[in-house]
Structure 1
Amino acid sequence: MDLTSLTIDDLKRGWHQTATARYCNYCDASWETTTAAATIEQHLTIVHGGIQSPLIHLASRYNTLTTKQQNLLTAFATGIKDADLAKQFQLAAATIRHQKFTFREKAKQAKLYLAIYQSVFESGQTPNDLIVLPEQPGIIDDRFAITEDEAVQTLKQYFNFDHDPLQLKRWPKKQKTIVTILTRIIDEIPMNRPINEDELNHYLQPIYFDYTTLRRYLIDYGFLKRTVDGRQYWRTTTKED
Structure 2
Amino acid sequence: MEREELFWNASIDELKQGYVKNKDVFTCIVCGKAYQKGIIYPNGELLYEAEFAVKQHIRDQHGSMFHYLLQMNKKYTGLTDLQKEIISYFKAGMSDKEIVDEMDAGSTSTIRTHRFKLKEKEKQAKVFLTIMELLTEEREQQEEDPFIQIHKGATMVDERYAITEQEREKVLSTYFKNGLDGPLSQFPSKEKRKIIILQHLLTRFEANKEYTEKEVNHIIKSVFDDFVTIRRYFIEYGFMLRNRDGSKYWLNN
The equivalent position to 2:9 in structure 1, one of 5, 10, 14, is 5
CA deviation digits over 1:138-169, x for unaligned, max 9?
xxxxxxxxxx7xx9xxx78xxx9345479xxx
Distance in 1 between residues matched to 2:139 and 2:32, nearest whole Å: 35
| Cα deviation, residue 115, structure 1 | 2.2
Change (3 A) 1:165 1:102: closer
Amino acid at match of 1:14: G
> Equivalences for 1:184-203 in 2 at 5 Å?
198-199=189-190, 202-203=194-195
Distance in 2 between residues matched to 1:45 and 1:30, nearest whole Å: 15
Q: Percent identity?
A: 20
The residue number in structure 1 matching 2:102 is: 88
Amino acid at match of 1:15: Y
The residue number in structure 1 matching 2:199 is: 207
Change (3 A) 1:81 1:36: farther
Distance in 2 between residues matched to 1:184 and 1:52, nearest whole Å: 37
Amino acid at match of 1:199: K
The residue number in structure 1 matching 2:62 is: 48
How big is the alpha-carbon RMSD for the aligned residues of Structure 1 and Structure 2?
3.7
Runs of 5+ unmatched residues, structure 2 = 39-48, 157-164, 173-187, 202-222, 225-253
Change (3 A) 1:73 1:32: farther
| Cα deviation, residue 52, structure 1 | 0.7
The residue number in structure 2 matching 1:19 is: 23
Distance in 1 between residues matched to 2:143 and 2:138, nearest whole Å: 15
CA contact (8 A) 1:6 1:16 kept: yes
| SS of aligned partner of 2:76 | coil
| Cα deviation, residue 63, structure 1 | 2.2
Q: Which has the higher helix share?
A: 2
Runs of 5+ unmatched residues, structure 1 = 133-147, 167-177, 186-196, 212-241
The residue number in structure 1 matching 2:151 is: 161
CA deviation digits over 1:115-156, x for unaligned, max 9?
233334425956xx6443xxxxxxxxxxxxxxx7xx9xxx78
The residue number in structure 1 matching 2:46 is: none
TM-score, normalised to structure 2's length? 0.51
| SS of aligned partner of 1:17 | strand
Distance in 1 between residues matched to 2:74 and 2:60, nearest whole Å: 22
User: Is 1:103 aligned to 2:107, yes or no?
Assistant: no
Change (3 A) 1:82 1:60: closer
Amino acid at match of 1:198: S
Amino acid at match of 1:119: L
The residue number in structure 2 matching 1:182 is: 169
The residue number in structure 1 matching 2:134 is: 119
> Equivalences for 1:126-145 in 2 at 5 Å?
130-132=143-145
